[in-house]
Amino acid sequence: MKIIYEVIPITTISELALSKIKNGMTVSLGGGHNVFNLAQSIRQAKLDIQLCSPSELTRLNCKNIGLKVDSLETIDHIDLAFDGCDNVDYNFNALKSGGGIHLYEKIAAQMSDEYILLLPSERIHKELSNKIPLCIEVAPPTVKQVIQTGKTIGLKMEIRQGNEVASLARSPQGNLLVDAFSSTWDDIDTIVSRLNNQNGVVATSYFQNVVTSLITTNKNNDAIEIKKGDLK
């Protein structure tokens, strides 16, 4: 992976992310441990900002450390949105499949001037990894039809199980989560377009044309920000 960037002498991902935040901003915090590290840094810095989050869990965790974090419904505009990611390619297309709150995360991304992913370097690949599924949020009455459509285009479809005994994973809206697996994601744009046209599909974990930069680390474990177009 060849990267063109300017190394900033800041050691951690959360410190570099924090340096982008200015007093008076509205900042969204998504999910993942890097984002929570940023939340703790924000608390220590005592910045005069408004915080919001698409994640109910993040709002709860931030409350536990003394931060007030609003839901997206109360926000009109976001200056910076920080989020985690399972995998991103050199064109900044991303799969955010683990959490299952794609709808709210995409709302935050679209409301933001900058949508920044905080992630370890091993999650950045030239092409999206087929080890990461595409997660589809589906209204329960249409699950059978959506699964059948996925199978007809060569996907392996699995309804996600929940953490509780004999339960299925559900989105905050009560919809089911279906994980789609493929031998390659070379044609993911067409796949997602086909699935989005299916009745009952609410959102997918594929993020296209919304990520503005990545904050990660280099080989020396120094935090760096990678802009779109820097990866070659």
Mean pLDDT, residues 218-222: 88
Question: What tokens were used for 203?
Answer: 């959102």
pLDDT of residue 166: 60
Tell me the pTM.
Answer: 0.91
- Domain borders along the chain are 13-126+208-227, 134-205
- Per-residue pLDDT reduced to its tens digit, 172-181: 899 999 999 9
Taking 3-state DSSP, the helix, strand and coil percentages for the chain, each rounded to the nearest 5, stand at 30, 30, 45
C-alpha to C-alpha distance for 164 and 168, rounded to whole angstroms:
8
| Best CA proximity match to 216, nearest among 106, 117, 98 | 117
* CATH code for the part of the protein at 13-126+208-227: 3.40.50.1360
- Per-residue pLDDT reduced to its tens digit, 74-116: 999 999 999 999 999 999 999 999 888 999 999 999 999 999 9
- Per-residue pLDDT reduced to its tens digit, 41-83: 999 999 999 999 999 999 999 999 999 999 999 999 999 999 9
C-alpha to C-alpha distance for 228 and 210, rounded to whole angstroms:
11
- Per-residue pLDDT reduced to its tens digit, 129-173: 999 999 999 999 999 999 999 999 999 999 999 776 668 899 989
Distances (CA, A) of 35 to 30, 98, 99, 158: 7, 15, 13, 29
Q: What is the per-residue DSSP string for 171-182? A: -TTS-EEEEEE-
* CATH code for the part of the protein at 134-205: 3.30.70.260
Question: What tokens were used for 43?
Answer: 């608390």
